[in-house]
Amino acid sequence: MAGRTGNKPVIDIAGLKKYYGKARGVENVSFRISPGEIFGFLGPNGAGKTTTIRTILDYIRPTAGKIKVLGMDPQLQGAEVRRKVGYLPSDFTMSSRMTAGEYLYFLLGMMDHTGNNRIEELSERFNLDLTKRIKDFSRGNRQKVGLVSAFMHSPKLMIMDEPSTGLDPLMQQEFYKLLLEEKKKGNTIFLSSHILSEVDAICDRVAVIREGELVAVETMGEFKKKTGRLMIIDFRDAINPEIFQRIKGVSDVKSEGNRLVLTVFSNVDGIIKLLAKHTVDELTFEDTSLEHVFLKYYGMEEVQRENSGAGVNK
């Protein structure tokens, strides 16, 4: 599960375990993130994404396991880690009579940051009115303040927990663009999300977590190969679905009247050639659901366990 070879990992987690009393937070989580990577952390709500992030930033302490962030141990140098990281919590909350501008400069002051900052530039980019009082902000605008605060001091590592929550689609696209620019600069981004398309659009690698346990850590290419995408085809006339099942990289072929739904794992060249022989009214692609992804991974795990003779208790 190592990242790119030759680079010292920016985040290195080994055997992380966190219990809240008897309740499990996360168990045996291990991964490394290399410099310049956009690393997705994918999982449904309550899977353990936030728990992992909070241990990385020393808001909570691990029950077991080792964490290194930028070469530092958060338990010993928590403040230093947080100072060097741009962090956006899942729900960016502020209670203050300050304006957005005053609040951001206040946070910058708390960072003891004296160099250039990106407050004006980023506010303009995200259409954030710095003169408005933050207590009057909608969730989306609060999130924009959070985004600016995470990037304003030009950190080398950004940790973002569900960052696009509350942003409208236009702002989401702007945000993804910003992340890709940061990647180009060689900065690292660790991004948790429960939205598959978000991870798909920007991440180099992804870790999938479910019920506190890592299911997989893969490059996006490997990940997409395993999870596939849904292809929905509406034919003019009725069609025999069996001919599609024979195509390499296609599975789960289902038909409903003239509609055919299939999961595509590799390139679509074979399908397109086959489709050319029929009249197609509409062709759309959809992301597979997160649950579908998990089923895929669990399915594989089950087969592997059965092959190795181990029982499955899922």
| Pairing relationship of beta strands 280-287 and 229-235 according to DSSP bridges | antiparallel
Does position 276 interact with another protein (CB under 8 A)? The reply is no
24, 35, 65, 90: which one binds another protein (CB under 8 A)? 90
Query: Can you point out the beta strands (E) in the chain?
Result: 11-20, 23-33, 38-42, 64-69, 85-88, 157-161, 188-193, 205-210, 213-219, 229-235, 250-256, 259-264, 280-287
Q: Judged by CB under 8 A, does residue 82 bind another protein?
A: yes
Q: Which stretch binds another protein (CB under 8 A): 79-87, 122-130, 187-195, 233-241?
A: 79-87
For position 76 contacting another protein by CB under 8 A, the verdict is no
Q: Could you tell me how many residues make up the chain?
A: 314
When binding is defined by CB under 8 A, the residue of 17, 84, 229, 292 that contacts another protein is 84
Nearest distance in Å: CB 308, another protein: 38
Would you say 254 and 245 are in contact if contact means Cβ atoms under 8 Å apart?
A: no
Contact window for another protein (CB under 8 A) among 55-63, 170-178, 219-227, 249-257: 55-63
Indicate whether 52 belongs to the interface with another protein (CB under 8 A): no
Write out the two tokens for 256: 């409903």
Q: Contact region for another protein (CB under 8 A) — 49-57, 236-244, 254-262, 292-300?
A: 49-57
Please give the order of strands across the beta sheet that includes 64-69: 64-69, 11-20, 23-33, 213-219, 205-210, 38-42, 188-193, 157-161, 85-88
Q: Which of 96, 219, 258, 304 forms a contact with another protein (CB under 8 A)?
A: 96
Considering the rule CB under 8 A, would residue 95 count as an interface residue with another protein? yes
Helix (H, G, I), strand (E, B) or coil at 292: helix
**Binding interface with another protein (CB under 8 A):** 50, 54, 57, 59-61, 78-80, 82-85, 87, 89-98, 106-107, 109-112, 146, 149
